[in-house]
A = this chain, B = another copy of it.
Amino acid sequence: MRLKLYVDRMSQPSRAVLIFCKVNGIDFEEIKVDLAKREHLKPEFKDINPTRQVPAIVDGRFKLFESHAILRYLACAFPGVADHWYPSDLFKRSKIESVLDWHHSNLRRGAVTYVLNTTLAPAFGLQLNPQAAAEGEKLLFASLANIESIWLKGNGRFLLGSSQPSVADLSLVCEIMQLEVLDEKDRDRILNPYKKVQQWMEDTKRATGPHFEEMHGILFKVKAKLQKQRLLGANNSSIKTSLQSKM
């Protein structure tokens, strides 16, 4: 039975899992759970993931949610996955675990809070919240500074001085890619101080191409539409309609 991925490509952890499967030749069936249409709240999805979040997987009789847990599982369950994604060496693997754990309360929280409260909130029926956006921005800047100065310190192209990407590179880069939906000038303002981060994002894209671009296709479409609306001075409600028609 094929692996089933319950995902929404507008969700950054969903894209990380999709790209991981594509790059590693893992055969899967993609089942879209449309977050903007609130499909994650339907009773049939509760049986797949009682916490009602994407991504989630079903592999035979085995169900699992949380993207990092899924990435670890796939790396171990599918023998074709190269060791660098989730090394068997305890010391290398533990350092990757440290980055994965750090991610939740730092880069992820900062980026999600900022993007939601400056841009995406209307698409989910929420109000933009400038105070929350300011808190998110602060955490996002601190997180990018940490990535640049701690994990990209060495000469390797990837996190922790590695010459090949791990699940942590994929997860973190997919998170930062969500900034694509921001106003372009704002995205540049945030990322421009971090040259190593920008180079590492390019290297991760290249190492996972063409699947990286393919799985981000919907994000680029939303980005283009939002940018057009900003130029036209459109209001929140039309941004909401636009996003929902794309998502």
A residues bordering B, Cβ < 8 Å? Answer: 50-51, 62, 64-69, 72-73, 76-77, 90-91, 94-95, 97-98, 100-102, 104-105, 108-109, 146, 149-150
Query: A97: which B residues are within 8 A, CB to CB?
Result: 66, 68-69, 72-73
A-B pairs with beta carbons under 8 Å apart, 6 shown? A51-B102, A69-B94, A69-B100, A72-B97, A104-B105, A105-B105
> Are A98 and B50 interface neighbours, CB within 8 A?
no
Considering the chains assembled together, what is the distance between the CA atoms of A91 and B69 in angstroms? 11
Please state the number of chain copies in the assembly: 2
CB distance from A167 to the nearest CB of B (A): 12
Query: A50: which B residues are within 8 A, CB to CB?
Result: 146, 149-150
Query: A51: which B residues are within 8 A, CB to CB?
Result: 102, 146, 150
Extra contacts, 19 of them, besides A51-B102, A69-B94 (Cβ < 8 A), are: A50-B146, A50-B149, A50-B150, A62-B91, A62-B94, A65-B102, A66-B101, A68-B97, A69-B97, A69-B98, A72-B94, A72-B97, A73-B90, A73-B94, A73-B97, A76-B94, A105-B105, A105-B109, A109-B109
Query: A62: which B residues are within 8 A, CB to CB?
Result: 91, 94
Considering the chains assembled together, what is the distance between the CA atoms of A77 and B76 in angstroms? 19
CB distance from A121 to the nearest CB of B (A): 15
Considering the chains assembled together, what is the distance between the CA atoms of A73 and B95 in angstroms? 9
